[in-house]
Chains A and B, each alone.
Chain A
């Protein structure tokens, strides 16, 4: 029987020392992959946690790690050549020794080197994953499809407060002298908070009614861009309701945020220069329009003036024609008057001739009449009397009756007219008093008689 008292018994430090020795031999120069978390520099040594995440980002493995100052310089040089640096969230593959530190009873990895190729690959894989996701969600081209205003003067600026990127960007805007208005929203651009802050900063700008947002950051390692390759930031860029411009300060690579953005620039200054140039172009267009407007209006007035002149000329032509017509009319009038006067003169002459002829004829007739013998004159006289009678008879009642009552005709047929001494026609025998003188007219003469006693 062995008494427990005689079994080998360790002190804590001795056990610690043996564990350290054992582990140091068993786990020497191993390659380990994991994600860097909470890196902190103390006394030139870099302390951090190396973790492994499972589903839902749940930590399924964790070890403390240290990069001693003696190794640090060399490791950083290698990383720097690959544009990387140790940062929170960085996936690394490192060669390390497992070490146990007895005074604190802590197990930790002593990192001797870091493989930049692995980190590069991890970043690329992550970027690819995010890109695939954006593509699948139809988000990759969404921000590019938005229209960038002609005059982008109200800007949202997302970057780290008081950073060189912020200063460079704002200095370029100020130099332009244009009336830019910048709504600045701070967000960490690297480190564990970057992903969340960048995404929420972009969302905060939705309420600010900006023309576009600019996401900028100064230079830095490729690994620093991790947040810009994240799904959260890429989605926030893609889903923004305003165009998002990026200026992430990297020369070669393109982050997913750049791919999802409306336009990507190499640096904050280049992004600012683009905006200034756009405003300048809008201003130029405006001034061209203003100049053209002046010219246009003047040309228009000139044109109307010309047209007016032409109208005046035409009017003058018409006036001229009217004048000609008036002249012609006056000429015609003159002609007409001449002709009329000629006619009148002619007519007057004709009339005078006629009058002379008439007078001559009358005189001839008078002379002729005067030359007739007495008898013919008497006959003329008789004829004239007859005509007078005829005219009188006509006045009393028609030519037939005159002919009928013509006493001469009756007398020629054998009748006679008897008148008393006073010349009245004797119409009844009783009217004749004895001894009265009567005159009886026959066709060829008068018989005087005295009435005897009846």
Chain B
């Protein structure tokens, strides 16, 4: 999902906590509660996906560069 790529974990978590706060502080209209929960579920899915997506996966970039360091 594009959403998953564009949303960073911390941003998603922050949004999640904001929704939570709104719900708890009764800022949320009951009409919007379902929408908020839907969004929260999406965010949860994104975050869980990020954490659990795959087993440790190793991309090997065996460094061939032999360029002299610039320092």
Residues of A within 8 A of B (CB): 149-151, 153, 157, 161, 170, 173-174, 176-187, 195-197, 199-201, 204, 208, 231-232, 235-236, 279, 282-283, 285-286, 289-290, 292-293, 296-297, 299-301, 303-304
Contact = CB atoms under 8 A, between A and B. Distances in A.
Given A178-B51, A282-B9, A293-B40, A186 B58 contact: no
A293 B19 contact: yes
B1 interface: no
Contacts, number: 130
B44 A186 contact: no
Nearest to B71: A232
B57 interface: yes
Contacts of A293: 16, 19-20, 23, 37, 40, 44
A131 to B, nearest CB: 15
A178 B47 CA distance: 12
B23 A151 contact: no
A121 B67 CA distance: 31
15 contacts: A149-B9, A153-B51, A170-B56, A173-B56, A174-B55, A177-B52, A179-B50, A181-B54, A185-B61, A186-B60, A208-B61, A236-B71, A293-B23, A297-B36, A300-B28
Contact of B51 (A183, A232, A283): A283
Nearest to A199: B69
Nearest to A178: B51
Given A236-B71, A292-B20, A297 B60 contact: no
Counting from the closest, the 10 A-B pairs by CB-CB distance are A179-B53, A151-B9, A296-B23, A173-B56, A180-B56, A179-B54, A232-B71, A174-B56, A199-B69, A182-B58
A201 B63 contact: yes
A282 B51 CA distance: 9
Nearest to B17: A289
Nearest to A151: B9
B63 to A, nearest CB: 5
Given A150-B10, A303-B26, A289 B20 contact: yes
Contacts of A282: 9, 13, 47, 51
How big is chain B's contact interface, by range?
35 or more
B68 A196 contact: yes
Given A179-B53, A301-B33, A170 B58 contact: yes
Interface of B: 8-10, 13, 16-17, 19-20, 23-24, 26, 28, 30, 33, 36-37, 40, 44, 47-48, 50-63, 65, 67-69, 71
Contact of B63 (A151, A197, A304): A197
Contacts of B53: 179
B17 A181 contact: no
Given A285-B13, A286-B48, A231 B71 contact: yes
B26 to A, nearest CB: 7
B67 to A, nearest CB: 6
A292 B8 CA distance: 21
Most buried by A among B55, B56, B63: B56
Nearest to B10: A150
A279 to B, nearest CB: 6
Given A199-B69, A296-B24, A300-B24, A204 B61 contact: yes
A179 B13 contact: no
B48 to A, nearest CB: 7
A182 to B, nearest CB: 5
Contacts of B19: 293
Contacts of B9: 149-151, 282
A182 B10 contact: no
Contacts of A297: 23, 33, 36-37
A193 B61 CA distance: 18
A279 B23 CA distance: 27
Nearest to A157: B58
A301 B54 CA distance: 37
B16 A286 contact: yes
Contacts of B52: 177-179
A304 B32 CA distance: 13
Contact of B50 (A151, A170, A300, A304): A151
